A and B are shown apart, each in its own frame.
Chain A
Amino acid sequence: MGAYDTLAITHPDDLRFGVAPKPLTTRRGMVLGGGLVYPEINFTLPNIEIDAASMPAIRKHYEECIIGVLRRAAELEAPGLIVEFETLPPMTHHPEWGLELTRIMLDAMEDAHAKTGLRSVFRMTPNDNREFVRPPVMRSGEYWENMLKLFDTTAAAGAELLSIESVGGKELHDESLQMGDISGVIFALCVVGVRDMRFLWENLNEIADFHDVNCAGDTACGFGNTAMVLAEQKIIPRTFAAVVRAVSAVRSLVAYECGAIGPGKDCGYENPILKAITGYPMSMEGKTAACAHKSPLGNIAAATCDAWSNESVQNIRLLSDMAPVCYVEQLIYDCRLMNEALADGRDAALQMCKWMVNSDAVRDPQAYVLTPTNALRIADAIVHAGNHYLAGKAAALTAVKLLREGAEAGEVKIPANETRWLDLIEAGVEALPDDEGAFIDQQLAVIEPGRFLPGEYGLLVDPVV
């Protein structure tokens, strides 16, 4: 399918932390996927309104955060550090604010390198504001223009990795999650979302090329993680969220089809599937991101990571220090342990990988579909499908099959009230037509008018092949 019709990784033992078939070397010589796992820190503001009047206080927060985490990373002899700046909506809407804060952090990173030798790299992740208007306008207008301007100016300033949690299709996906509607999920992710990803990442790739920086990757955060959070709250079944995760990989894959080379964005729990397909390094988050959200994937997420992230933490005071400093310390110790296992050889790394996988997989369907073995099976189903829509169907059916087999084998616990959802999902997918055009017609006929603008996704114009 598309740029990928084979897998970069074909054996589960090769889908493990710290090593990727296509590692990425940063300007400072950090080799992601080259045998070390690097910490990736992300921090955000405490409870504060963001406007011109509060910008002086906001500058101080970011200065305090970056100086603190760099100091601690140097003290703990981190092999390198990824600093992610994920903007809050006003910082994208006023790109000059986002740029100013970026410069504060880049300057501090340069200073730390000069003084301590600490290597670091900056990941720029503008908040995707395009859904601020409903229905979202995806390809033009102030939200689109300001977002591109922020990417462009921060890449020029030295942001080496470009990422985003893009939202194309979310206006449809949210309701599909609420209603447990797998056909709507596939339409939002694999028809609408895929088209937005292609448009967005072709633009980002131009910016990256111009400034000689890297497109890193996207995430189905607003999709798969929304499902995960809803499942954690027992709003939707975990089996449904597990299937959504598998399908979400089809959407996130498009960034790599358009030129992204990793490290994949941390909150993309679908990244093991993408690492198997693309061979690029992936950032992941799990137990050390409990500050941002809970998940049933605390250990298993680390099993295939090349960078290990805390997702985000507010700049608030904890007993030992400010929270970002505490979290960078935790990440560094997590990475130190993984790197010790890697240094001890393949068998040691595999043993640790096995513990990470087995400690989570049996307890939750969402973890079970992400074991290296199962991620490879979903990845294989995706690359052998004829197009993204069919890949979504194949990923869903494969996930259902894996969960049924796993439950029967006692490898994953699925309660009775969730098991019947596997039947519902399977029946829902099997009822869908094989032809994407027929599927689009079917969906457009049932979507409430005004909920989304098909033209903003190039629908009715350019079928994705």
Chain B
Amino acid sequence: MPDLTALSKAIVEGHRTHAVAWTGEALEAGTDPALILDALVGGMEEIGRLWKANEVFVPEVLIAARAMKESMQVLEPRLAEGGVKPEATAVIGTVRGDLHDIGKNLVAMMWKGANIRVYDVGTNAAPEDFIKAAKENDADVIGLSALLTTTMPAMKSTVQAIRAAGLTNVKIIIGGAPVTQAYADEIGADGYAPDAVTAIDHLRQAVGLAN
């Protein structure tokens, strides 16, 4: 059996060329795709642990996530054949009137790296953009981002519009510099993610997945 420990390590170190090649080799050798997925996810969990221990920075986590994403492109068709699906589907965007996208992009990359299918509606996104993407893709979660105090009201109106559109079971997680848990509670969001790495945990909690 190919060395899946080495594959996990390639993810941790962000060696995307190695990770993609070894994913392909493992598949060719007949390794169960679910085991390969476990190795990839294990690598992401390890880099997440290193980040939480302040041993690495987010770029290193994102480089690992990029290696994971590219490996998943090789692995996903085989997972689908075996009935293995992404853990959840999320729609993410920065609310109307706000152009800031770093935080949103960080969260999107982290979610993708955690085997979440992510649809990014971009910045300055209208409530209907979120609703359309969520309905079309049967989303479990919608992530709303804002950096300006003057665009926080757009978060509230987006939450209201999502609920009014009948998406009552979709969990809404908000984030951004001026946003707080108290604000999330006030506007009826289901969660607040203070940073990109723990946004994975918040999503998993919101949709009832074990952390």
A interface residues with partner B (beta carbon < 8 Å): 44-50, 88-90, 131-132, 134, 174-175, 177-181, 226, 229-230, 233-237, 240, 314, 417, 421
A48 contacts across to B, CB distance below 8 A: 150, 153
Give complex CA distance A240, B109 in Å.
21
Give complex CA distance A314, B149 in Å.
9
Give complex CA distance A46, B152 in Å.
11
Task: Tell me if B101 counts as interface (CB < 8 A to partner A).
Answer: yes
Partner of A230 from B102, B122, B153 at Cβ < 8 Å: B102
A132 contacts across to B, CB distance below 8 A: 99, 124
Taking A132-B124, A134-B122, A236-B57 as given, write out 13 further A-B residue pairs in contact, using a Cβ cutoff of 8 Å, ordered by the A residue number: A174-B101, A175-B105, A179-B59, A179-B62, A179-B63, A180-B60, A180-B63, A230-B58, A233-B195, A234-B57, A236-B58, A314-B149, A417-B54
Give complex CA distance A421, B55 in Å.
12
Do A226 and B102 form a contact, CB below 8 Å, given A90-B97, A178-B59, A235-B196?
yes
CB of A178 within 8 A of CB of B124, answer no
Q: Which residue of A lies closest to B102 (CB)?
A: A174
CB of B149 within 8 A of CB of A178, answer no
Task: Tell me if B154 counts as interface (CB < 8 A to partner A).
Answer: yes
Task: Tell me if B71 counts as interface (CB < 8 A to partner A).
Answer: no
Q: Which residue of A lies closest to B109 (CB)?
A: A178
B97 contacts across to A, CB distance below 8 A: 89-90
B interface residues with partner A (beta carbon < 8 Å): 54-60, 62-63, 66, 97, 99, 101-102, 105-106, 109, 122-124, 148-150, 152-154, 177, 195-196
The 10 tightest CB contacts between A and B, nearest first, are A180-B59, A235-B58, A49-B153, A47-B149, A174-B102, A179-B59, A237-B57, A131-B99, A236-B57, A88-B150
Give complex CA distance A44, B102 in Å.
23
B56 contacts across to A, CB distance below 8 A: 417
B122 contacts across to A, CB distance below 8 A: 134
27 contacts between A and B (CB under 8 A): A44-B150, A46-B149, A47-B149, A47-B152, A47-B153, A48-B150, A49-B150, A49-B154, A50-B150, A88-B150, A89-B97, A90-B97, A131-B99, A132-B124, A134-B122, A177-B102, A178-B58, A178-B62, A180-B57, A180-B63, A234-B54, A235-B58, A235-B195, A236-B59, A240-B59, A417-B57, A421-B57
Taking the nearest CB of chain B, how far is it from the CB of A202, in angstroms?
25
Q: Which residue of A lies closest to B14 (CB)?
A: A179
Taking the nearest CB of chain A, how far is it from the CB of B138, in angstroms?
26
CB of B105 within 8 A of CB of A174, answer yes
Q: Which residue of A lies closest to B178 (CB)?
A: A47
Taking the nearest CB of chain A, how far is it from the CB of B31, in angstroms?
30
Give complex CA distance A178, B58 in Å.
7
A181 contacts across to B, CB distance below 8 A: 59
Give complex CA distance A46, B151 in Å.
11
Give complex CA distance A181, B57 in Å.
13
Give complex CA distance A178, B63 in Å.
9
Most B CB atoms within 10 A — which of A132, A178, A181?
A178
Q: Which residue of B lies closest to A176 (CB)?
A: B59
Q: Which residue of B lies closest to A233 (CB)?
A: B195
B152 contacts across to A, CB distance below 8 A: 47
Give complex CA distance A99, B73 in Å.
52
Q: Which residue of A lies closest to B50 (CB)?
A: A417
Give complex CA distance A230, B148 in Å.
16
Q: Which residue of A lies closest to B96 (CB)?
A: A49
CB of B55 within 8 A of CB of A45, answer no
B153 contacts across to A, CB distance below 8 A: 47-49
Taking the nearest CB of chain A, how far is it from the CB of B77, in angstroms?
22
Give complex CA distance A307, B55 in Å.
39
Give complex CA distance A49, B106 in Å.
27
A229 contacts across to B, CB distance below 8 A: 177
Taking the nearest CB of chain A, how far is it from the CB of B15, in angstroms?
15
A230 contacts across to B, CB distance below 8 A: 58, 102
Give complex CA distance A89, B57 in Å.
32
B59 contacts across to A, CB distance below 8 A: 178-181, 236, 240
Give complex CA distance A5, B176 in Å.
42
Give complex CA distance A240, B57 in Å.
11
B99 contacts across to A, CB distance below 8 A: 89, 131-132
Q: Which residue of B lies closest to A229 (CB)?
A: B177
Give complex CA distance A50, B148 in Å.
12
Most B CB atoms within 10 A — which of A49, A90, A226?
A49
Q: Which residue of B lies closest to A49 (CB)?
A: B153
Most A CB atoms within 10 A — which of B55, B62, B66?
B62
Q: Which residue of B lies closest to A417 (CB)?
A: B55
B57 contacts across to A, CB distance below 8 A: 180, 234-237, 240, 417, 421
B60 contacts across to A, CB distance below 8 A: 180
Taking the nearest CB of chain B, how far is it from the CB of A182, in angstroms?
11
A131 contacts across to B, CB distance below 8 A: 99
B63 contacts across to A, CB distance below 8 A: 179-180
CB of B150 within 8 A of CB of A178, answer no
CB of B54 within 8 A of CB of A178, answer no
